[in-house]
């Protein structure tokens, strides 16, 4: 009887799990030792896998937009303005050009000569001066005929007086005609200058030459690309926000941007760049119901590279104001 009671009391005693956990860990360590693997026990706050900590732009009213794409605002492919042969391509990839600086030129001998002729014609006012003198003489003759007939009505027939009057009026009209031709000559000079300008290719803004498509001596047609220019001083950071947040995001709202590069960990990802929301799309994506937005961000140090990804924090609830100057 006593032996039975002893067995029952032991079976009703709660078993502790600590020895079992210790035994399991011991077996796992032993197995790892045999296989050469290391086992790490993760706590509740440990990051899973190889995930690296990312910088955060926390704000009580901020809307975080991940996986934004960085694009250039000032980027252009410079093309030929007309058909011709390239006389010069003055820059190589990596060179910096100023705004309105000549970057390429077509052979322009004929156009340059045409401008010289038009300039000479536009400076010629001989016809105007001659017409003025002729009009003075014709007017004087008409007045002499009239004065003679006033003294003696039979001096000149009426038809002769009419002819003198017509000659005087024609002289005035010839002055107007000469002035008209002079104005046309100046317009032709401007036309020749505009035509000559088509033979040169100027930089529309300060930028770096990122690609050269044509070299000196190559034939080009109107619209053929010659150079690609890129200015990185400001960039467009484009992302998508849920439609439920679109009504709290206004053009002109402040943003902060950080690089968010996958599979790398760089000090530059800790830097913050300020900007303004420029565009909030009036349409939503039909599948995701996301709305496209983009901000203009200062990039003077050229840390934000076009094509890279970034994360953007938008300050919500700010009054709408323009971000463009």
Q: Whose CA is closest to 167, among 195, 144, 196, 135?
A: 135
Q: Report the percent of the chain where pLDDT is more than 90.
A: 70
- Report yes or no: 201 and 104 within 8 Å, Cβ to Cβ: yes
- Report yes or no: 303 and 285 within 8 Å, Cβ to Cβ: no
**Which H or E run contains 88?**
strand 84-89
More confident residue, 136 or 35: 136
Is the pLDDT score of 51 beyond 70?
no
More confident residue, 232 or 7: 232
Q: What is the pLDDT of residues 241-295, one digit of tens each?
A: 999 999 999 999 999 999 999 988 899 999 999 999 999 999 999 999 999 999 9
To the nearest whole number, what is the mean pLDDT of the chain? 82
pLDDT at 15: 42
Q: What is the pLDDT of residues 17-44, one digit of tens each?
A: 444 445 454 554 444 443 433 333 333 3
Band (pLDDT 50/70/90 cuts) for residue 155 is confident
CA distance between the termini of the chain: 99
Range name among 58-67, 74-83, 259-268, 301-310 with the lowest pLDDT average: 58-67
More confident residue, 279 or 161: 279
Q: Read off the pTM.
A: 0.62
Is the pLDDT score of 93 beyond 50?
yes
Q: What is the mean pLDDT of residues 207-225?
A: 95
141 C-beta neighbours (distance < 10 Å), count:
16
Listed in sequence order, the residues at least 6 apart from 170 whose beta carbon sits closer than 8 Å to its beta carbon are 138
CA-CA distance, 296 to 276, in Å (whole number)? 6
Q: What is the mean pLDDT of residues 104-120?
A: 95
pLDDT at 204: 95
Is the pLDDT score of 45 beyond 80?
no
pLDDT at 318: 53
Q: What is the mean pLDDT of residues 172-178?
A: 93
pLDDT at 161: 87
Q: Report the percent of the chain where pLDDT is more than 70.
A: 78
Q: Whose CA is closest to 210, among 101, 319, 77, 108?
A: 77
- Tokens matching residue 23: 């035994």
Band (pLDDT 50/70/90 cuts) for residue 61 is low
DSSP letter assigned to residue 71 = E
């Amino acid at each position: 009887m006593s032996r039975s009671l002893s067995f029952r009391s032991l079976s009703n005693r709660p078993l502790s799990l600590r020895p079992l956990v210790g035994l399991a860990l011991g077996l796992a360590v032993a197995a790892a030792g045999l296989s050469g693997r290391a086992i790490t026990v993760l706590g509740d706050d440990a990051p899973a896998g190889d995930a690296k900590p990312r910088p955060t732009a926390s704000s009580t009213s901020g809307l975080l937009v991940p996986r934004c794409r960085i694009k250039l605002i000032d980027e252009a492919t410079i093309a030929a303005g007309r058909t011709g042969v390239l006389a010069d391509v003055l820059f190589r990839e990596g060179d910096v050009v100023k705004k309105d600086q000549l970057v390429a030129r077509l052979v322009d001998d004929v156009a340059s000569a045409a401008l010289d002729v038009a300039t000479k014609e536009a400076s010629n006012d001989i016809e105007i001066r001659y017409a003025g003198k002729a009009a003075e003489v014709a007017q004087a003759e008409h007045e002499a005929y009239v004065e003679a007939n006033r003294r003696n009505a039979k001096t000149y027939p009426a038809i002769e007086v009419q002819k003198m009057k017509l000659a005087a009026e024609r002289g005035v009209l010839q002055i107007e005609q000469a002035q008209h031709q002079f104005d046309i000559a100046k317009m032709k000079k401007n036309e020749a200058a505009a035509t000559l300008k088509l033979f040169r290719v100027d930089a529309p803004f300060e930028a770096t030459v990122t690609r050269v498509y044509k070299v000196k001596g190559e034939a080009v047609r109107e619209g053929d690309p010659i150079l690609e220019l890129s200015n990185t001083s400001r960039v467009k950071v484009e992302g998508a926000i849920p439609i439920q947040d679109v009504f709290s995001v206004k053009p002109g709202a402040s943003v902060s941007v950080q690089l968010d590069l996958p599979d790398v960990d760089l000090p530059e990802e800790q830097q913050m760049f300020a900007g303004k929301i420029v565009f909030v799309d009036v349409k939503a994506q039909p599948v995701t119901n996301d709305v496209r937005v983009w901000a203009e961000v200062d990039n003077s140090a050229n840390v934000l590279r076009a094509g890279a990804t970034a994360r953007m924090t938008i300050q919500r609830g700010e009054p709408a104001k323009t971000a463009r100057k």
